[in-house]
Chains A and B, each alone.
Chain A
């Protein structure tokens, strides 16, 4: 994603509803620390909430790895969501607004991508899913 090395990493398990809330709160704290604007904080936390729920519901649980980033004068936050679930076969379809394999609104992946500066997804059927997002201070 970037050549920038994370300053420190924080790992949070995602196995329950309560864990999704804890991921949101931890991302919020890091985003404040990295001096993201209030709107950018809100966007990053919302994206993290969507992706943490995906990890829980579609991935069967997993973890979030949160890191602070530094690149010259800019500071940022990166969050990686990992699960060992079934993975995604048709990524184009999964990234389409309104498409869902469950009973959600189908905004999770496509919506989360719009809310952050950097978005990467690595998945294959049977190989789990890794989604990495990052946003930076201005």
Chain B
């Protein structure tokens, strides 16, 4: 069971799920993220699920839980990169992803988390500084 790596960029934690998630790995990610948020004081969590071929009720519940845990730890979660076939299937399955913010890709997700500080690594990566100039 490989753990999903969590990267830190400024005040944002980045997670890209590239493996077919076992239930235990999903639960581990939930705990690891809660730990990292409190350790780092991160304000945003970006989860890239473009590598996921399916989102079933278990993974959907994990995404909702992560969003809920982040919220009470004062961080915002954005899920990005959902495949079209996954979106269609999830809606038909009846999954709501309660409380989860979504964006189409990593760049839009980072913009949604919009760091106020234009010199932050996220803002520099997005060229927000240049946008405002």
Contact = CB atoms under 8 A, between A and B. Distances in A.
Contact of A46 (B1, B23, B84, B93): B93
Given A24-B54, A107-B93, A111-B94, A42 B20 contact: no
Interface in B1-38: 1, 20-24
Interface residues of B, number: 25
Contacts of B92: 43, 111, 114-115
B117 interface: no
A28 B94 contact: no
A21 B60 contact: no
A42 B54 contact: yes
Contacts of A46: 54-56, 89-90, 93
Given A49-B54, A49-B56, A24 B20 contact: yes
A110 B92 CA distance: 10
B22 A45 contact: no
Interface size class on chain A is 20 to 34
B94 A110 contact: yes
Interface string A10-44: 00000001101100110010000000001101110
A42 B88 contact: yes
Nearest to A108: B57
B85 A38 contact: yes
Given A25-B20, A115-B92, A42 B57 contact: no
Contact of A45 (B21, B54, B58, B95): B54
Contacts of A45: 53-54
A50 B57 contact: yes
B86 interface: yes
29 contacts: A18-B1, A21-B20, A21-B21, A24-B20, A24-B53, A25-B20, A39-B88, A42-B53, A42-B54, A42-B83, A42-B88, A43-B89, A43-B92, A45-B53, A46-B93, A49-B56, A49-B58, A50-B93, A53-B58, A107-B57, A107-B94, A110-B94, A111-B93, A111-B95, A112-B93, A114-B92, A114-B93, A115-B89, A115-B93
